[in-house]
Structure 1
Amino acid sequence: MAGLITASEPSWIAPFTGLSPRCFGRLVTAVRREIAAKAHRGRPWGLPLEDRILLVAAYWRTNLTMRQIAPLFGISKSAADRIINHLGPKIALHPRKRFAKDTLLIVDGTLVPP
């Protein structure tokens, strides 16, 4: 279907993820490595892994609803929800326990001292 967002077109990556295509490729590699360790069961995903990661990043970056983002990728809103719930924890940063003494943290737009 023409006009859908896809990671195979590098021009879609930067506006929807904030990452360069090279950094996005490293993210895909890291997620692929983590997923490969687990056994795959059930029906295969309708979107390739790169497009699923792009969907999660676009969802987080743009604050679109499931109803709005799903048609951009040519899937149903329930499929978009399943993708976000499955890949979100794998993409999210793991919290750090320690920061450098002069580190400035921003949480929800609020400055927080370490």
Structure 2
Amino acid sequence: MKYIDLKKLSETQFKRYTGISWSTFYLMVEQLQERIPAKGRPSKLCVEDQILLCLSYWREYRTLFHVATSYGVSEPTASRIVRHVEDSLIHSNLFNLPKN
């Protein structure tokens, strides 16, 4: 489900869907926006959708193929997005994520 659709959810519904609160989500958005590459082609997905893609991959144990299909990107693109989000959040030192 894309960000535009999730904005309508209450705090409780959002947490049930994603596993995190709105405040944590917006903190993730801030951290990811700081690490957007200055060069290169812009991403097809907004930062919020990139985080939601990654959260759905982590929370639902869906394959990258299924996540990519849901967000309208290729499987390698979904893999790159997950890796970029993970690396950015680990680098921020604000979140507890596995480092290996």
TM-score by length of structure 2 reads 0.72
Alignment partners' CA distance in 1, 2:31 and 2:40 = 23
Alignment partners' CA distance in 2, 1:16 and 1:52 = 15
Deviations 1:6-65 (CA, angstroms, capped at 9, x unpaired): 1232338434421122321122112223x15xx511111000011001111111111111
Say whether the 8 Å CA contact 1:16–1:62 is kept in structure 2: no
Q: Whose helix proportion is higher, 1 or 2? A: 2
Q: CA RMSD in A?
A: 2.4
SS in 1 for 2:3: coil
Aligned length: 88
Give the fraction of aligned pairs with identical amino acids, expressed as a percent.
29
Instruction: Answer yes or no: is 1:19 the counterpart of 2:17.
Output: no
Q: 5+ unaligned residues in a row in structure 1: which ranges? A: 95-114
**Structure number with larger C-alpha Rg:** 1
- Among candidates 20, 44, 47, match of residue 46 of structure 1: 44
Question: Which ranges of 4 or more aligned residues in structure 1 deviate by more than 3 Å?
Answer: none
SS in 2 for 1:83: helix
Q: Whose strand proportion is higher, 1 or 2? A: 1
Which residue in the other structure is 2:30 paired with? 29
Query: Quick one: which amino acid aligns to residue 82 of structure 1?
Result: R
Which residue in the other structure is 2:80 paired with? 82
